[in-house]
Amino acid sequence: MTFKVSGAELFDPLVVKAIKSGAYGAISADKILEERTKIKYPEYLSPYKAEDAGKYNNFKNVDGAKNDKGHLGDPTFKNLFKPGTKVKTVDLSPNYGTEIDGIQLSELDDAGKNDLALYLETRGLAVFRNQDFRDKGPAFAKQFGEYFGPLHIHPVSFAAENYPELLVTYRPAGGAERYPVQFANSTNTAGWHSDISFEEYPSSFSFFVALEAPESGGDTVFLDLREAYKRLSPQIQKFFETLTIIHTNYYQNQFAKLKNYEARVKGDYFTEHPLVRTHPVTGEKSLFFSRGFALRIKGLKQQESDSILSFLESHVLNNPEIQVRASHQGTESRTVIAWDNRISLHTAIADFLQHETPARHHYRITVLGEKPFFDGSVEAKTINGHSNGHSNGHSNGHSNGNSNGHSNGHSNGKSNGKSNVGDVSLDKLTIS
């Protein structure tokens, strides 16, 4: 059984030729200035600058586990869902993900941000509607993100002008002409990953802000890595707890070179992380299988590693019972999607390329978390009376369907099941 490393197709000369010719949906560096004249928020699409090559070194976050703002959050989330505030919430699934309307993220005080951190650590994913975030400017976005920890500077993805901490994802406006270009050499663009898992200190939280988005399509699918771990037999859980995966950005860097993207942070990383990790706040265990950056399992022979990674690919990625969709629902929905990368995987969906749409343009704030660790002695904490830390762990946070949210976790009915958060910044070869 052979596990195909994401990006390994770059050794195929026909794929290399296609990338250089403009396939795979990623615009060339020399096209950015032209695209800036067509979009609503040009400050969030900066051309690559030769002087930025190798300019930055990413921060470490040595005390990330101790300083996580979730430790300061109130388990009732009273500072996030304040009494008297009219909030509408719809759970995307019973255990994972919630859509929220009525909370303005830009207006949260420190106590509200602490509750937000804990909320993301229990629900995993939150889709916020009608936000003013994108009109506050990049300086505000950077300051907001820095409250939760050091911010990541991505080595090769697009960024906001003068704010390398704000990663930008961009697909130009267009119509059906985009479809054959994107799918000339592949049947799909799925690139499941946890943000920047190739780093020594991968991301804790990501905030993904819609600048322009299709009315329909361009969703992002998320999945719950805690539930993926729970579904395993106890014997396999114990075995996986002994394993280490090597994560790499090598292929991402190779793709960037083919597209002439300058690397702000130099280096091919081969970083070791436990396959099962412990959450520093909730104590929950989850699989840490970041498909897009997984190279091999440390210490195993190639066939052994391939067999386990192939099993993980099938087990983690192919179970709709642990997946949800989040949707931006067009530019005017003013959506911000936030999630905890330690317990989540996600992938963007390119299902809109046969239709005339505006640009799919977003920026992402990426907060550095702790160095992943496994501690078998840590037990999951009880949050809102639920010992598993996420089974409807938000029900006490917004209880009445009006002033504080909804009763029983889903009083306003079912979500429409769509979203547009993804962050495949260049293509599935350069998932970020």
What confidence score (pLDDT) does residue 394 get?
Answer: 47
On whether residue 335 sits in a domain, the answer given is yes
Q: What are phi and psi of 77, to 5 degrees?
A: 55, 35
Q: How far apart are CA 398 and CA 375, in angstroms?
A: 32
On whether residue 1 sits in a domain, the answer given is no
Number of domain units in the chain: 1
- Note the pTM of the prediction, 2 decimals: 0.90
What confidence score (pLDDT) does residue 182 get?
Answer: 86
Cβ contacts of 391-394, under 8 Å, gap ≥ 24:
391/94, 391/95, 392/91, 392/94, 392/95, 393/122, 393/123, 394/77, 394/98, 394/119, 394/122, 394/123
Helices (H), 271-416: 302-317
Q: How far apart are CA 268 and CA 62, in angstroms?
A: 21
127, β-bridge pairs: 99, 337
Q: How far apart are CA 150 and CA 146, in angstroms?
A: 6
Place of tokens 């290399």: 16
Q: How far apart are CA 427 and CA 403, in angstroms?
A: 42
Tokens for 157, please give them: 């993805």
What confidence score (pLDDT) does residue 18 get?
Answer: 79
Work out the average pLDDT over 37-63: 91
Residues in the chain: 432
Give the Å distances, CA to CA, from 62 to 18, 23, 66, 68: 41, 40, 9, 11
What confidence score (pLDDT) does residue 29 get?
Answer: 76
Work out the average pLDDT over 138-154: 98
* Cβ proximity of 285 and 277 under 8 Å: yes
256, β-bridge pairs: none
Angular region, 374: left φ>0, alpha ψ -120 to 50, beta rest: beta
Q: What is the CATH number of the domain that holds 103?
A: 3.60.130.10
Neighbours of 314 (CB within 10 A): 10
Q: How far apart are CA 285 and CA 302, in angstroms?
A: 27
Higher pLDDT: 180 or 149? It is 149
Residue 379 has pLDDT above 70, yes or no: yes
Residue 164 has pLDDT above 80, yes or no: yes
For residue range 288-325, list pLDDT tens digits in order.
999 999 999 999 999 999 999 999 999 999 999 999 99
If you ran DSSP here, which 8-state letter would residue 36 be given? Answer: H
What confidence score (pLDDT) does residue 144 get?
Answer: 98
What confidence score (pLDDT) does residue 80 get?
Answer: 98
On whether residue 2 sits in a domain, the answer given is no
Q: How confident is the model at residue 401 (pLDDT cuts 50, 70, 90)?
A: very low
* Cβ proximity of 226 and 285 under 8 Å: yes
What confidence score (pLDDT) does residue 16 get?
Answer: 85
On whether residue 251 sits in a domain, the answer given is yes
What confidence score (pLDDT) does residue 22 get?
Answer: 67
Angular region, 219: left φ>0, alpha ψ -120 to 50, beta rest: beta
For residue range 245-266, list pLDDT tens digits in order.
999 999 999 999 888 888 999 9
The string of DSSP letters for 356-422 reads: -B--EEEEEEEEE-PPP---TTPPPPPBTTBTTS-TTTTGGGS-SSSSS--GGG-TT----------
Residue 400 has pLDDT above 80, yes or no: no
On whether residue 313 sits in a domain, the answer given is yes
Residue 273 has pLDDT above 70, yes or no: yes
Query: Measured on CA atoms in the order 68, 143, 84, 415, is the torsion positive or negative?
Result: negative
On whether residue 71 sits in a domain, the answer given is yes
- State which residues form the domain around 215: 8-430
Residue 387 has pLDDT above 60, yes or no: no
What confidence score (pLDDT) does residue 423 get?
Answer: 35
Q: Which residues, at least 6 apart from 260, have a Cβ–Cβ distance to it below 8 Å?
A: 28, 29, 30, 48
On whether residue 421 sits in a domain, the answer given is yes
Q: Percent of the chain beyond pLDDT 90?
A: 74
Work out the average pLDDT over 76-88: 95
If you ran DSSP here, which 8-state letter would residue 48 be given? Answer: P
On whether residue 3 sits in a domain, the answer given is no
